[in-house]
Amino acid sequence: MKDSESRARQILQKRDETLANSRQRSKKTLRISVIAAVLAAAVIIPTAAVVAKRAAKAPSNGGNSVTQSGIINGTGSSDEEAENTGAAGTEPSFSDGIIGGSGKSDSPSFSGIYPSDKTASMSKGEKEEHYYSEPAEAYVVPGHEMPDAAEPDAPEMKAGTLTAGEWKDLENLSLWYEKLAQPQWAEIAEQRKIVPTRIITVTVKDGEAPCFNTAVTLLSGDDELFAARTDVNGNAYLPYGDNGTYSVRVGDETFPLEGKDKIEVQAKDAGIGVTALDLMLMIDTTGSMGDELEYIKYELSDLVSRIREAGGNLSVRVSVNFYRDEGDEYVVKYYDFRTDINECLEQIKNEYASGGGDYPEAVHTALENAVTGHTWREDAVKLCYLVLDAPPHDEREAKGVTESLQKSVAEAAKQGIRIIPVASSGVDLTTEIILRSFAASTGGTYIFITDDSGVGGGHKEAEVGEHVVETLNECMIRVSCEYCGIYRGGRVPYTQTSHN
């Protein structure tokens, strides 16, 4: 944000000073509410022995143990969930909750967000510039009814309205390297330090059959640099940096790379077939998403409703989650995996866009929760759809963000969690590069919403090669099936009349 950032900080500081007393009262009320919730929990939990047992057992995903829903300052899962992690057909006890935030609804109170009457048709970058050029008093929070402010001739809200393209950098690495050689891309990569500059592809087979979910580790001498799991095609992707002598470990065997970026190895009984799918939605619900969030909810609801049918005999579970930014009503609102699809649909339906304030959002907190705060099953295909329109904060704004993102991405790859970003209106080049890096580093793919539907603000034209524009819901269903090894036909081009 350069020079405009300091001005924005001054505006927000002045606003914060005006609201300081009110916020202190809100925090006091929140503390009282939390204490009351804890006391209530103490009455509800049957015996102290159960509490002691759960507190003593650390969950397998490394988070803080949580025994029931509530407001917390960390992530975790209960001991019952840890025991069910590897079972494809079992339903864990849930660990839902909220991470951070004020606990107070942003609507309709003042919070310094973009005014819907001035910026509804602006791109995210234009909103940012507008935000820094107007006095703080001009900004109000868009409320629950914001989506109704759409133009009278806006498309009907239904699944199949939004349009999108998909691009898998892992299948087009030459273009990825070409882009990274450009000065602007190289500068962003250097600043963010989460962009893979080289990627090794390891294919693991048992005879001619690809091995699914096989652990593959990149080594430099005896040092483990990065770990991943093979997808349904037997491919694992290992990002690495400078030149060196590398090898890969599969099972008990080590294979030298000898300077190659691609290698195929044989492994006996190295993996199992696909029997389960864990599908996660992590959705940005800050105010700037209001221009298309209601449409996205229809698309995601359609995905959730149809994915079990598309999956055939797969054991399918879904986790729906939402995030905003520090100082909002919540930072992350999360729900563990369910087999009850109707419950997931209600979670999507009840959420709305509000909060935010500056361009970046708490993506690092959302990713950390997505990867370590849920009971992903060991033997499942693991897909995390990250729906957003803004980048994570950088080190200038929040220390430790880069390290947090690096850890989350590395852990996702190690568990075989494929991060699949869905880029919405307002995404800029920095955000695009970061999102594509998340996908490339975890074996995922990049989905970007396009202008063809006429919904929402302007969508950045993705810097990718030739691609097909589809409806978003059909694109996500196709991608999900492909990761499960289920063929549903090729891309279906969007042919409906575009909204003008």
Give the tens place of pLDDT for each residue, 141-181: 222 233 333 444 566 788 889 999 999 999 999 999 999 99
Comparing 104-113, 195-204, 334-343, the range with the smallest average pLDDT is 104-113
Predicted pLDDT at 490: 81
Residue 94 — very low, low, confident or very high, per pLDDT cuts 50/70/90?
A: low
Residue 433 — very low, low, confident or very high, per pLDDT cuts 50/70/90?
A: very high
Give dist(CA 150, CA 169) in Å, integer. Answer: 35
Q: Is 167 part of any domain?
A: yes
Comparing 8-22, 65-79, 441-455, the range with the smallest average pLDDT is 65-79
Once rounded to an integer, what is the mean pLDDT over residues 68-96? 41
CATH number at residue 369: 3.40.50.410
Give dist(CA 141, CA 147) in Å, integer. Answer: 13
Once rounded to an integer, what is the mean pLDDT over residues 78-107? 57
Q: Is 227 part of any domain?
A: no
Give phi and psi for 332, each to the nearest 5: -135, 130
Range of the domain at 5: 1-195+275-500
- Whole-model pTM? 0.75
Q: Is 185 part of any domain?
A: yes
Other C-beta atoms within 10 Å of 191: how many?
15
Closest to 387 in 3D by CA, of 224, 55, 174, 164: 164
Once rounded to an integer, what is the mean pLDDT over residues 4-20? 43
Predicted pLDDT at 309: 82
Predicted pLDDT at 496: 64
Comparing 104-118, 336-350, 469-483, the range with the smallest average pLDDT is 104-118
Predicted pLDDT at 38: 35
pLDDT digits (tens, 9 = 90+) for 267-289: 987 666 899 999 999 999 998 89
User: Could you give the dihedral angle defined by the CA atoms of residues 302, 105, 389 and 142, in that order, rounded to the nearest 10 degrees?
Assistant: 100
User: Could you give the dihedral angle defined by the CA atoms of residues 32, 37, 43 and 44, in that order, rounded to the nearest 10 degrees?
Assistant: 170
Is the confidence at residue 474, as pLDDT, over 90? Answer: yes
**E-only strand ranges, 285-430:** 315-323, 332-334, 381-388, 417-423
Q: Is 244 part of any domain?
A: no
Give dist(CA 396, CA 274) in Å, integer. Answer: 43
Predicted pLDDT at 317: 94
Amino acid at 60: S
Other C-beta atoms within 10 Å of 424: how many?
29
Q: Is 259 part of any domain?
A: no
Is the confidence at residue 34, as pLDDT, over 70? Answer: no
Q: Is 226 part of any domain?
A: no
Predicted pLDDT at 105: 67
Mean pLDDT over all residues of the chain?
76
pLDDT digits (tens, 9 = 90+) for 453-472: 988 888 999 999 999 999 99
Q: Regarding beta strands 276-284 and 315-323, do their DSSP bridges make them parallel or antiparallel, or are they unpaired?
A: parallel
Is the confidence at residue 19, as pLDDT, over 70? Answer: no
Any bridge partners for residue 277, and if so which?
A: 316, 381
Once rounded to an integer, what is the mean pLDDT over residues 283-299? 91
**Total number of domains in the chain:** 1
Residue 362 — very low, low, confident or very high, per pLDDT cuts 50/70/90?
A: very high
Q: Is 498 part of any domain?
A: yes
Q: Is 57 part of any domain?
A: yes
Calculate what percentage of the chain has a pLDDT beyond 70. 69
